[in-house]
Structure formats: C-alpha cells, structure tokens
Amino acid sequence: MPKSATPTHCPYCALQCGMNLTVGPDAGVEVAERADFPVNRGALCAKGRTAPALLTSRLRLTSPLVRKGGKLEPAGWDEALDRIAGALDGARHKHGPDACAVFGGGGLTNEKAYALGKFARVVLGTSQIDYNGRFCMSSAAAAGTAAFGLDRGLPFPLEDVARTGCVILVGSNPAETMPPALRYFTELRENGGTLIVVDPRRTRTAEQADLHLAPRPGTDLALALGLLHLVVAEGRTDEAYIRERTTGWEEARAAAMAHWPEYVERVTGVPVPQLREAVRLFCAPESAMVLTARGPEQQAKGTDTVGAWINLCLATGRAGRPLSGYGCLTGQGNGQGGREHGQKADQLPGYRKLTDPAARRHVAEVWGVDPDSLPGPGRSAYELLDALGTDIRTLLVMGSNPVVSAPRAAHVEERLRALDFLAVCDVVLSETAELADVVLPVTQWAEETGTTTNLEGRVLLRRQAVAPPEGVRSDLEVLHELAARLGVEKGFPADPEEVFEELRRASAGGPADYSGITYRRLAEENGVFWPCPAPERPVGAATGDSTGTGARTGGSGFSAKGTPAEVHPGTPRMFLDRFATEDGRARFVPVSHRPSAEEPDEEYPLLLTTGRVLAQYQSGAQTRRVDELNAAAPGPFVELHPRLAARLGAAEGDPVAVVSRRGRATAPARISAGIRPDTVFMPFHWPGAGRANTVTNPALDPTSRMPEFKVCAVRVEPVDRDQPGAEVAVRA
C-alpha cells in the first residue's frame, strides 16, 4: 500500500522548496519529490533532502532544561514555564517593562513572528524586540522602501529571471545558497540572456556567468555608481521613463557623475573595459534585472549601496516593467514574512510602522488594547544584544543562535552572560541555549502547521506531516502559556490557523496585506502572492498583473473560513502601473561612495569577508547535527589566494589565524586562485576557535542598522600546529 504523502516545504532557506513527506512503518520520515510546486519543481539541495534526520535525532531536545546549581537539568514544563514567567515578571516590576527583551528569527512562521511581536508589546509592554532578519536583508528593505515606497524581496516570480535579457547578480552565490534556483539562471542563458556576477570570489555561481566582476569587498557602491556614470556618458539612459515614472534624477545623476571610471577602477579593482562590458550587456536587451543578496547588503553602507544599484535600474528604465526590475534574494525560510508581522523593533503587523498613529490604532483595535499602551520602536538587533546586562535584564530568544551568528560574537557572548535571566526556545541545545537559565524544547517544521512567505512574496502553507515526540511543545503553545502566567489569558491561541485569522485582520489595509489569504486558499493554490486584500478593501498598493499562482490541488482539508474574501488573485508582479509611493513614481536617491568602516592598514593589511557553504545552514545549530551534511562540510576554513598563502608559508590544510581588532579565529587554509589576493573568506557556520564572528566588525549602517559582516580589516598569521589554541576543526 502506498504511504500517504503530505505536501509541505523545506525548513531552511527562503526558496521554501516544496517537498512531500511520507511516514514509513518504522515512523521514519522520508522526503519525496513534489513536482507540482513551481519554484523548485521537485529539485532539492542536500539540506532539504536530509532535513528529516533532525526529527528523530538523539541530539534534539525533548525535555525542558532548567539551570540548577550551575548546570542545565531536565525539568517539567510547569516548572520551566513558571521560572521564565517569574523572571520576566520580576524584571518588569523591578526595572520597568524595557528590562525584558525578546529576540526572534526569520525562520519562524508568520504565525509565530506575529504572536511573538504581540507578546512583546501586549504582554510584556516592552519596546525591546528585534530579530536576526536585521542581520539579513534589512539594508535592501530600507533601500527598496525609499525607492519604491514598499519592499518585497522579489517584486516578480523567480520564473521571470529565465526570460529577461540580462541579470546582474550582486554578492549572491545561489549555487551554494539556493541550488534549485540556479536553474533559472541556466535557463536565462539558454534563452539567449546574459548573466553578470559581482563577487570578490570566483564562486560556483560566478563560474556560470558571462562576465564576472571581482571588486574589493565593500566597494559595490562605487561600482554601481561607475556603471551609472558610463550609462550617462554613453547616452544609454531612458529619458522618457525617467520623466514619467521617477523623481530625483538630477541629484542622483550629479552624484554619480563624480564617479569616473578610472576612479572606480582604482577603488574597486575592476578594470574599466569590464565596466564598459557590463554596461553593454545590461543595456543592450529590452529587459534586465539587478538582484542583490548579502554581499552588497551586509555593509555599513548597505542601504546606500542597494540604492545605487536601484538607481542604475531606474536610469535605464528597468523597474516596474515586464521582466525588468530590482529584487533582493531574501535568505531565511520566512525571511520575507518574518519582517512583515511585527517582530522587528519598529514594526507592526502588515508591514506597518510603529510610529504611525493610524497603524497603532488599527492594530490596537485588533488586539483589544489602548493604542497608547503600545510601546514605541526599540533597539536594533546588535544594539539590543550590546545592551544585555545593562538596562535589559532578561531575554527570551526564539529562533536564533547569536553566539555564533552575531558580529563581534565574543562580546555578545559576554553580554548574554551578564543577563539576570536568559530563556531560549529551540529544537537543539544551540550555543546560545547552552548559556540559558531555561531552555524550552519546541516542535520542528514537519510537526506543526504554519505559513511562510518565500523570497518571491509567495505565502505558503507548511503542513504538519508527523506527530511531535513526547515532551516538546510548539512556540505558539509556549507563548500561550507564558501570556497566561503573566496575566493575559486571551489572545494567544496555540492553534496556528486561529493566529493566522487574526493576522489577516491585523494586516488588512497595510502594505503587506494578507487579509484575502486563507489556509484553504494556500492549500489549494500552492501559495498566494501578497498584497492580497479581502475584496471589501480597495487594492491599494496592489498593482500589476494577477496571473495564476499555480495549479489547484483540491481537497485541502482546511475549513472554508473567510470564503467571501477568496476573490483577490494575489499580486505576483508589482509596480507595473505605478510604484507604491504617494505620487506613484520611483525615487532616485543621491548617493556617493565612502570607505568601509575599517580599511586595511599596516597592522591589519587584508580584508576578511564571510558567507556560506552549501552543506551548512547559518549558525549550523541544525545542520551540524546531520551526519551527511557534517561529512560534506566538517569545519571552518580560511580561503586565501596562492600568493598570500606562499607569503605566509601556509600549505593547503595548515592552520592559520585571522586576527582583527575584535579577536582571532583559527582554521585550516583552503588555497584558491578564485579569491582576490587582498581578501580572505571564512564561512560563519561554526562556534569555537574557528568562529568567523569573533573577528567581524559590528559597525552599523546608519539607516538599516545592518552590521558590516562582509568587510573588516585583518591580518593572517601562520599557526604552529603544536601550539595551544591551534585546534582547527570544531564540531557539534
């Protein structure tokens, strides 16, 4: 008899690949292809394929842990929840509500992100909530909002990438970070389009490109301005488009013209003929796109940098037109939805602003509270972590592992230790959970239902496929229990669909309007693109076409709640008629190049940049506990150019130390001719001696508050294998 398959989605990245899960007779869970989901059409990377391993792993948590006599010991749920509620209550009474802080994650479902934001503002009354998405695509969000009035990662479906004329992919390595998406870039080239990759390393993605530009880390802003200068100088601007659909061109143009090609070559290291070739490839076809990811965004000038790339699109008429536009490839499973529903320091659900009186009134009404009781905006992620143990006395972490993933991580670890009380909800004993006073074990993706919003703005339904093991509870149950213990009995249901129904109302009329979306629709339509207002509301920001969003699968098993609202088709493509600004025009931003927060000097003559490898995910808390992935990527490394290696006398695999003003990380050398000789690269997935974030710079972008993960000044030293501290492979 065939086992029954549950269609659902991967727990990891923003592609949210569709997969079928089946439960075997021995309760083992298997992944099977799910060809009906259009984004990945059945393809999965090694992480998605092996994701079920953690469901049954002995390394997952199945009992709450409470610190007793300095050690984390198994305890009952009531005791653990009482301890957390007591600590939060004590802190707020003694020091005021802002003494309680909350740190969320972009991997949390929409329902969890929504409930967490509401918990902070309504139950704790604290302004001190932010999340790891601040470390992810916040610079792109800030720049997109400034230019278009609204930001949605990709304002078009990924399938459009295959049919445009040229794509400039800036600081993005989908060959390792979203392997099934690579197909769209291959198809682009098969269809006669061209691919330009901008990356200081010749990555597996760059190898597929027609043109690879390898700038010095931290100089993308100068590069984009240099290209715009050439566009103007060569008469390739689209004057009619600039006139009709934009404002602010004169100032932006004047700023760009100061960036002469020869100056840009000096700053970036990209030769002028390559700049000219890039302009030719980008401007020749009828349509083109610029897509950015963490390379240009994770800089202390990330917002201006993305703004400069958007200016290039606007000046050439390549935004808000079919098969043309600017897009950001979001990162985490719910990187998009996680930033829309209120776990960000300055946001309310529906992508509303916490400082907007009308937004406060609307959300307060849905929540049944006085608008004046809602706190104002709080600190950004790094600033919040930096303040732990000062005015912040207790912290609740849900869905992040900052001991490994935050910049200047040794300092962050010290701040976490300075708290009076730390509570962590996680599926495993992460490095952050190891420091906690109470750890709550929560259900994993396949054991619960919820929605995520992928990098295209497509809202998806992740369905429960298996029963959770005894001893674990869902994040929603945790918030329900904590709220009740803190005196709020109602408003925190543990049922995800009930939370979603409230989220629909809270988001109604906001920029990210989900009010026309129901679980039933999501199940039947394979996802719905926001904005999707309920029909009684005007479409508002929703413009553009509304082509079908996928095949109907029928028989969803979900109730017909909200049936009258099931009319708006959703918005796969945005901005085709107008941008979401007041006058409907896109806004140029006048920007100029500036150096990185830390430039090389005699003591620290090289640049460190950081990023990812295929087989590990983020802080590695999950993937380091999956044998197959650990075998494929067992530990950190320092990628360096053969000339630099020769100067250090380091051979392949020799331990080397990367030292900055913040600290020192040690890992084996990986010698590669594909990296610039002035730059070294480390993946950030490991704790311990090889932790890249011991070294990184927490300098923040003034607008997005994004830390400068992608560039800091370092020196590299050979390490004597026999010396203490020379350990090189760090495992879970």
- Interface with ligand SF4, residue 75, by CB under 6 A: no
**Contact letters (x/-) for Mo ion, 124-163, by CB under 5 A?**
------------x---------------------------
**Cβ 332 to Mo ion, closest distance in Å?**
5
Q: Which residues contact 126 (CB under 8 A, 6 or more apart)?
A: 92, 97, 98, 99, 100, 101, 102, 120, 375, 378
Share of the chain residues as helix, strand and coil, in percent rounded to the nearest 5: 35, 20, 45
* SS3 state of residue 81: helix
Torsions phi, psi for 572 (to 5 deg): -60, -40
Binding to ligand MGD (CB under 6 A): which residues in 363-422? Answer: 398-402, 404-405
Tell me how many residues contact ligand SF4 (CB under 6 A): 14
Binding to ligand MGD (CB under 6 A): which residues in 80-109? Answer: 105-108
Residue (of 253, 301, 256, 15) closest to 142 by Cα position: 301
Residue (of 217, 115, 240) closest to 170 by Cα position: 217
End-to-end distance of the chain based on CA atoms, in angstroms? 39
DSSP H helical ranges for 368-455: 381-386, 402-405, 409-417
User: 621 touches which of ligand MGD, ligand SF4, Mo ion, none (CB within 5 to 8 A by kind)?
Assistant: ligand MGD
CA distance 98 to 89: 12
User: Which of 38, 104, 105, 179 touches ligand SF4 (CB under 6 A)?
Assistant: 179
Measured CA angle at 358 (ends 354, 360), to 5 deg: 40
Q: Which residues contact 690 (CB under 8 A, 6 or more apart)?
A: 635, 636, 637, 665, 666, 667, 682, 728, 729, 730
Tell me how many residues contact ligand MGD (CB under 6 A): 63
Whether the link from the prior residue into 531 is cis, omega within 30° of 0, is yes
Cα radius of gyration (the chain): 24
Amino acid at 413: E
Tell me how many residues contact Mo ion (CB under 5 A): 2
Q: What's the token pair of residue 23?
A: 């439960």
**Contact letters (x/-) for ligand MGD, 590-609, by CB under 6 A?**
-------------------x
User: Which of 128, 194, 208, 298 touches ligand MGD (CB under 6 A)?
Assistant: 298
- Interface with ligand SF4, residue 107, by CB under 6 A: no
> Closer CB to ligand MGD, residue 246 or residue 332?
332
**Cβ 313 to Mo ion, closest distance in Å?**
23
User: 713 touches which of ligand SF4, ligand MGD, Mo ion, none (CB within 5 to 8 A by kind)?
Assistant: none
Binding to ligand SF4 (CB under 6 A): which residues in 7-66? Answer: 10, 12-13, 15-17, 40, 44-45, 47-48
> Closer CB to ligand MGD, residue 402 or residue 491?
402
- Interface with Mo ion, residue 406, by CB under 5 A: no
**Contact letters (x/-) for Mo ion, 517-536, by CB under 5 A?**
--------------------
Give 475's Cβ-side CA count (13 Å radius): 30
**Contact letters (x/-) for ligand MGD, 124-163, by CB under 6 A?**
--------x--xx---------------------------
- Interface with ligand MGD, residue 428, by CB under 6 A: yes
Cα dihedral 194/545/525/14 (nearest 10): 40
Q: Which residues contact 291 (CB under 8 A, 6 or more apart)?
A: 154, 161, 167, 168, 169, 170, 172, 326, 327, 328, 329
**Cβ 689 to ligand MGD, closest distance in Å?**
15
**Contact letters (x/-) for Mo ion, 315-344, by CB under 5 A?**
----------------x-------------
CA distance 654 to 728: 9
**Cβ 621 to Mo ion, closest distance in Å?**
14
- Chain residues binding ligand MGD by CB under 6 A are 13, 105-108, 132, 135-136, 170-173, 176-178, 198-201, 203, 217-218, 220, 293-296, 298, 331-332, 398-402, 404-405, 425-428, 430, 442, 475, 609-612, 614, 616-619, 621-622, 681, 684, 692-693, 696, 709-711
- Chain residues binding Mo ion by CB under 5 A are 136, 331
- Chain residues binding ligand SF4 by CB under 6 A are 10, 12-13, 15-17, 40, 44-45, 47-48, 178-180
